[in-house]
């Protein structure tokens, strides 16, 4: 616990110095508690480091109906932080898997994706972590994810491209090797927007 308090204290002091040097007394009524709010926000934005994503996938149900077709979950909200600039990454994930004898509660998939998202990430790595974690936790070999996101590190700094989105995917098993399975997964995204 003292290590966390030390980390919080150091971040609080750094942010206080930044606010004092940047804003000074010009807007003190709004920035007086900013360092503390910043520390709390960063703890929340990176809460995925303190959670086990695979634990969210432990609850499954015996497949009593013989489900062997693709299960799609589209438009899963993604809120992450760029590992390079600590700027927000905001978007949607589209996920699918083909069950093997067991099915998951549908709420489990957004939950485990949220845990992985709440870490310092690059979008490409997040995609591979999602499919890798899913396969390891469930034993399912056929799964896919596509993420479409806005990167504030490109929107608010550097090139300042306000309208561009980044699209990444990770395809495993039948989604990678079977063109019809891949087409079924990607065909629906044409109807979807952020």
pLDDT per position as a tens digit, 119-151: 999 999 999 999 999 999 999 999 999 999 999
Tell me: pLDDT of 5 over 90.
no
The CATH number assigned to the domain with range 55-191 reads: 3.30.1130.10
pLDDT number for residue 180:
95
| pTM exceeds cut of 0.85 | yes
Question: What's phi and psi for 60, nearest 5 deg?
Answer: -135, 170
**Cβ of 140: how many Cβ atoms within 10 Å?**
22
Tell me: pLDDT of 34 over 90.
no
Boundaries of every domain in the chain: 2-45, 55-191
pLDDT number for residue 3:
56
Residue in 54, 133, 49 with CA at minimum distance from that of residue 83: 49
pLDDT number for residue 150:
95
Residue 102 confidence class, pLDDT cut points 50, 70, 90: confident
């Amino acid at each position: 616990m003292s290590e966390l308090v030390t980390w919080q204290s150091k971040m609080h002091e750094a942010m206080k110095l930044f606010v004092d040097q940047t804003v000074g007394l010009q807007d003190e009524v709004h920035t007086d508690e900013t360092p503390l709010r910043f520390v709390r926000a960063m703890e929340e934005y990176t809460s995925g480091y303190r959670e086990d994503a695979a634990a969210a996938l432990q609850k499954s149900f015996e497949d009593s109906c013989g489900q062997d077709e693709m299960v799609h979950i589209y438009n899963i909200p993604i809120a992450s932080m760029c590992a390079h600039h600590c700027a927000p990454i905001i978007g949607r994930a589209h996920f699918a898997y083909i069950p093997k004898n067991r099915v998951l509660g549908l709420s489990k998939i957004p939950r485990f994706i949220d845990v992985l998202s709440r870490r310092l990430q690059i979008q490409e790595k997040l995609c591979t972590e999602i499919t890798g974690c899913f396969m390891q936790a469930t034993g399912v070999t056929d799964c896919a994810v596509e993420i479409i996101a806005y990167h504030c590190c490109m929107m608010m700094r550097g090139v300042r491209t306000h309208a561009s989105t980044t699209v990444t995917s990770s395809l495993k098993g039948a989604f990678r090797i079977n063109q019809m399975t891949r087409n079924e997964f990607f065909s629906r995204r044409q109807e979807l927007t952020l």
